[in-house]
Every structure is written in C-alpha cells, then in structure tokens.
Amino acid sequence: MSAPDSGDLDAGARADVAIVLTACLAAPAWVDALVDSRPHGGAAGWLGAADAAYAALPDDAVLAALAAHPRIGAAPAGSGAHEAASRREQAAVSAAGDDVRAALVAGNRAYEERFGRVFLIRAAGRSPAEILAELRRRLAHDDASELAEAREQLRQITRLRLERVLAGEG
C-alpha cells in the first residue's frame, strides 16, 4: 500500500494496513487495536483512536516499541518504512558537529546504563544542541519519571508518523 490516506486505512487489507501502522509504532497491540476497530473515518477519527490505543498500552509494550528505535545520532539499520522515518526525523542530528555527536554518543551510553533502554526523543523540529540538552536533563530523572517522559515522546513520534501517513506522505 503506497501513500495511503484514512480511506485506504479504513478499507485496506488487514495485513497491508498493519504494515503501514507498524512503521508508525512497533507495538502489535496498538496496531491490532486500530485495525480491529476500523473504520475510523477521517484523520481526526484515526488520530483519536490511535491516542486511545496508545494510552491503553502497558509499559512492557511501550518498552518493546522503544527498543525498535535507533539511538539518537546512530544511523538506523535497514531500509523499511520505520527506518526511513527515523532517518527523516533525525536528519538534523546527522549534520551536527563532531563535538555534539560525541556528546550524544556518551550521553546515550550513560542513559542506557542508567535506565536500561534507548534514549528516545521526538527529534523532529529540534536542533542537535536541544536534543543533547534534553538528554542531559533527563539523565537526572528517576526511573518512573523517565519512563513517563519516554512514553510521551514515543506518543508524539507515533502521532507525527501517523499524521504523515494520513496526509498521504507515507
């Protein structure tokens, strides 16, 4: 299914729609909830259903979805839609200076040692310096606070990706 819109998602074959949605969020329970509750109507219906399905995800599903994301500043392996979205969202980071990129590598390492998961931030619309500042700020969180923030960042990324799909931008 290339460049689907909300009508295509409502009427498309389950397997095709699931592939498109998985590129937005690698959480099978979220994908199943959206596919199984179709039709959603227009973009507003899809976005509302997506937010509701996301809010219902247990932490273990969110943690699994977080693990599907590449480190900030690391080139995603693979050529699928999920990887293409990550490359697009992190484009500014790849152009950062060596000092910022080195600090992101060190910060990612410290974050993973502290929290046991990849640092995730909605990179779209943020400068590399902003991302680095957020990484450093979030290292001071306790685990529960940081998981809540990571959950919110993942929700924002998911919504941006779904908005692109609904706009026919894939």
Domain ranges of the chain: 6-165
Q: What is the chain's pLDDT, residue by residue, as a tens digit (170 residues)?
A: 455 666 789 999 999 999 999 999 999 999 999 999 999 999 999 999 999 999 999 999 999 999 888 888 665 555 455 455 544 555 566 777 889 989 999 999 999 999 999 999 998 889 999 999 999 999 999 999 999 999 999 999 999 999 999 998 86
Q: Is 6-165 a domain of CATH 1.10.3720.10?
A: no
pLDDT at 92: 60
Structure tokens at 161: 């990706």
Encode 88-104: b = buried (16+ Cβ within 10 Å), e = exposed. Answer: ebbebbeebeeebbebb
Structure tokens at 89: 């969202």
pLDDT at 136: 97
Identity of the residue numbered 157:
I
Q: Are 167 and 7 in contact (CB under 8 A)?
A: no
pLDDT at 7: 75
pLDDT at 73: 66
CA angle, 34 then 37 then 40, to 5°: 80
pLDDT at 122: 93
Q: How many residues does the chain have?
A: 170
pLDDT at 138: 98
pTM score: 0.86
CA angle, 121 then 124 then 125, to 5°: 115
